[in-house]
Structure 1
Amino acid sequence: MKKGFTLLLLRLFFAASSFAANIAPADTVATPPADSAQHQTVASYILPTALISYGVLSFHSQSLRNADFYVQRNFSNSKNRLLYHVDDILQYSPAAAVYALNTFGIQGKHNFADRTFTYVIAEGLMISTTKLMKRGMSRPDINGNTLHGFPSGHSATAFLAAEFLSQEYGDRSVWFTVGGYSAAALIAVLRVRNNFHYMSDVITGAGIGIASAKLAYLVYPVLKQALLPKNRNNIVIMPARLSNINGVYIAGTF
């Protein structure tokens, strides 16, 4: 069983690396790129759409559902959980890497305000989608405790963060994308390995996370142009938290 799980983990890592190599250029260093929204294509949404579709089809295809049960029987282990609770922190690591890299002088595509607004929008899209699907699809979790097992929120968060890192740094080096997606793949595997989710739960979560990040980069420039004046020299924008509610603080003269 341990050998089989290791092979599954490696396959997911290689799959993430292969996908990263296809969506990011091979050059290790690139000139400052154009805005992310300007070079998004319909083809870039094929993978997240396919991942989400796989999960939805698992409600109607017995063969896909049997694959869930097979993986759960052969790879999941709730008694001897691997790296237990590490995934609660690691799911945010690719996003944290974006801010760490900027702190150490390695600049991404966008400034602090723009990338933070984009990330907040992506999180909002992801959380809304996962909650709607959890309530609407009503699949029992793997232990039968709730009806909100599908899709995996951890997987969605991790792959959103991976795509966020890729959008900001993927044009500088392919290894930023590879690292982010490998971390996200590890989260997905751990959620299955530790008997928290079925395979289709984490696959769908991955698709939601990737799509949410891509859509945020598409939506934010439009919102920015519509809501903020062209002259923003006296405007301060920063994340804020009040009464346990995340938001954005905007101050300035208009």
Structure 2
Amino acid sequence: MNKLIIYCCVWLILASTTTLAQMSGAEQIDSSNYKAKMYDTGFRVKMSPYTAIGASASIAYGFAKFGSHSLNDLDILARKEFALEHPHSRLRLDDYLQFAPGASVFVLSGLGIKGKSSTVDQSGIYLLSNIILNITVQSLKRSTKLPRPDGTSNSFPSGHTAEAFASAELLNQEYGRASTVYPVLGYATALSTAYLRMYNNKHWLSDVVTGAGIGFFSTRLSYWLYPKIKKVFSSRRTSTSMIMPSYSYDSIGARMVRSF
């Protein structure tokens, strides 16, 4: 049990580093000038070395499991503690929690609370992030074919956790400089999703750790790629575009409305 607690603490530190490192170095902004300063930053997103190391370590942890008996043993021990020690029925809350931080971005925007990007750009970044993480996650699932703890297939990595952390980082990027409450709640929701995936016996510890890193990097990469893609689709100044994501089980789609 002590070994489990130690490793779980390491995991929580790795997963939380991405937000805590960024918030610790964030510029203090006067609320009266918040709107102007936020829009001046555009799509520029800085990543501290600590943030990059924390997210990279999360992904590396999962891959290290394939050649490590101790990490495999830790997966088994974590499953026993979280899923088997006290028999329980499945809580399907994780199916919805994974989208909660991302949905919060659009709720806040709809309420008129300005984020770093416009609602249209938030939609585009969110869609692009989901495309990146789904391609990555599904490719790894099909190539590794790791069994889930419950005996079903395609365990590695956790798509629910990747989605949750991608959404949490979107909320952090858009509203983290307005208040630290937003990223704290977003990442708390993401961590809860990761825990529930293990609690429901659907994923190993290594699955959710890797999913967290993939989700984080998917959103960060989207902030870098999106303005380049937007430039291609916005060659005419007189046109406007709206990109809206859509979801179904294990798939993602998009709808674009363009007016001239």
Assess same fold via TM > 0.5. Answer: yes
Question: TM (normalized to structure 1)?
Answer: 0.85
Letter in 1 for 2:256: Y
CA shift, 1:69, in A, is: 0.9
Aligned to 1:151: 157
Q: 1:48-107 deviations in whole A, cap 9, x for unaligned?
A: 21111100010111111111111111221384046x011111110000110111122211
Aligned to 2:242: 237
Structure 2 residue 172 is matched with structure 1 residue 166 = yes
Going from structure 1 to structure 2, the CA distance change for 1:242 and 1:6 (only over 3 Å counts) comes to closer
CA distance in 1, matches of 2:76, 2:191: 20
The share of aligned pairs that are identical, in percent, is: 31
Going from structure 1 to structure 2, the CA distance change for 1:118 and 1:68 (only over 3 Å counts) comes to same
Going from structure 1 to structure 2, the CA distance change for 1:173 and 1:242 (only over 3 Å counts) comes to closer
Structure 2 residue 139 is matched with structure 1 residue 132 = yes
Aligned partners of 1:28 and 1:174 also within 8 Å: no
CA shift, 1:226, in A, is: 2.8
Secondary structure at the aligned position of 1:239 is classed as strand
Deviates more, 1:215-224 or 1:34-43: 34-43
CA shift, 1:234, in A, is: 3.5
Q: Which structure is higher in RCO with an 8 Å CA cutoff and minimum separation 6?
A: 1
Going from structure 1 to structure 2, the CA distance change for 1:17 and 1:102 (only over 3 Å counts) comes to same
Aligned to 2:192: 186
Deviates more, 1:207-216 or 1:36-45: 36-45
The CA RMSD over aligned residues, in Å, is 3.1
Question: TM (normalized to structure 2)?
Answer: 0.83
- The count of aligned residue pairs is 248
Going from structure 1 to structure 2, the CA distance change for 1:38 and 1:85 (only over 3 Å counts) comes to closer
Letter in 2 for 1:177: P
Aligned to 1:50: 57
Letter in 2 for 1:113: V
**Pairing of 1:58-207 with structure 2 (within 5 A):** 58-77=65-84, 79-81=87-89, 84-146=91-153, 148-207=154-213
Going from structure 1 to structure 2, the CA distance change for 1:14 and 1:242 (only over 3 Å counts) comes to closer
Going from structure 1 to structure 2, the CA distance change for 1:50 and 1:153 (only over 3 Å counts) comes to same
Letter in 1 for 2:164: A
Q: 1:210-252 deviations in whole A, cap 9, x for unaligned?
A: 0101000010011112331251x44242427699972232323
Q: 1:5-56 deviations in whole A, cap 9, x for unaligned?
A: 9999999778766653321237486523312435345654322211111000
Secondary structure at the aligned position of 1:191 is classed as helix
Aligned partners of 2:127 and 2:245 also within 8 Å: no
Q: 1:99-151 deviations in whole A, cap 9, x for unaligned?
A: 111122211111111110111000000000000000111111112222x0111
